[in-house]
């Protein structure tokens, strides 16, 4: 074998080694990027679910307080106890919102802001900070559930989940509400 043939053989071996190294490095880089994205998606999902849980807890407490204040249902807990629970739920809702702010895309953050606004309106009417009729109370609750659906849609898009919770396949549904008291008809 001549010197030229030996140089071609060595060059082919070096080229093969470099190609193998680059291919392995790129594959490893892609694997690590995928792991990182998956890890962040898991954290986002936890943050989004935690935020909705906090919203729903706040809403349930507001309903409990409103119904007690309006005499729509008797309750073993006092207004003071419910307000204390609402205060704690509000604090937890704020913490959950901050997690969303840290992890979410722009559309999810905007949906979360919108959801906060309508949820606060329900809280404020329940506590008597703003006034309103039973119809206004129901409209505020409907607005919360519409905002929850909008948040779900934005979060699903951010996580790459196909489909939606609103639209033609999922028509708007009304709240499951108790009947109106007879004296308000």
DSSP-H helix ranges across the chain? 3-69, 79-103, 106-127, 134-159
> Strand, coil or helix: what is 70?
coil
pLDDT digits (tens, 9 = 90+) for 18-44: 888 888 878 778 877 766 666 678 899
Q: Against a cut of 0.75, is the pTM above it?
A: no
| Topology classification of domain 41-167 | Tetracycline Repressor; domain 2 (1.10.357)
pLDDT of residue 144: 95
Q: Where are the domains of the chain?
A: 41-167
Specify whether the CB–CB gap between 136 and 169 falls below 8 A: no
Using left for φ > 0, alpha for ψ between -120 and 50, and beta otherwise, residue 167 falls in left
Shortest CA distance to 140 belongs to which of 32, 46, 24, 62? 62
> Could you report the per-residue pLDDT of 83-140, keeping only the tens digit for each?
999 999 999 999 999 999 999 999 999 999 999 999 999 999 999 999 999 999 999 9
């Amino acid at each position: 074998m001549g010197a030229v043939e030996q140089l071609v053989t060595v060059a082919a071996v070096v080229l093969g080694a470099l190609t193998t190294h680059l291919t392995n490095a790129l594959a490893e880089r892609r694997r690590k990027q995928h792991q990182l994205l998956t890890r962040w998606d898991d954290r986002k999902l936890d943050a989004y679910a935690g935020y909705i849980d906090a919203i729903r807890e706040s809403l349930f407490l507001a309903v409990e307080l409103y119904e007690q204040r309006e005499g729509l249902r008797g309750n073993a807990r006092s207004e003071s106890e419910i307000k204390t629970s609402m205060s704690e739920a509000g604090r937890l809702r704020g913490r959950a919102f901050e997690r969303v702010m840290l992890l979410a895309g722009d559309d999810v953050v905007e949906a979360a802001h919108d959801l906060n606004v309508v949820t606060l309106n329900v809280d404020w009417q329940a506590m008597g900070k703003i006034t309103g009729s039973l119809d206004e109370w129901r409209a505020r609750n409907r607005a919360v559930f519409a905002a929850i659906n909008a948040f779900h849609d934005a979060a699903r898009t951010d996580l790459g989940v196909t489909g939606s919770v609103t639209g033609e396949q999922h028509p708007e549904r009304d709240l499951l509400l108790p009947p109106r008291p007879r004296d308000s008809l």
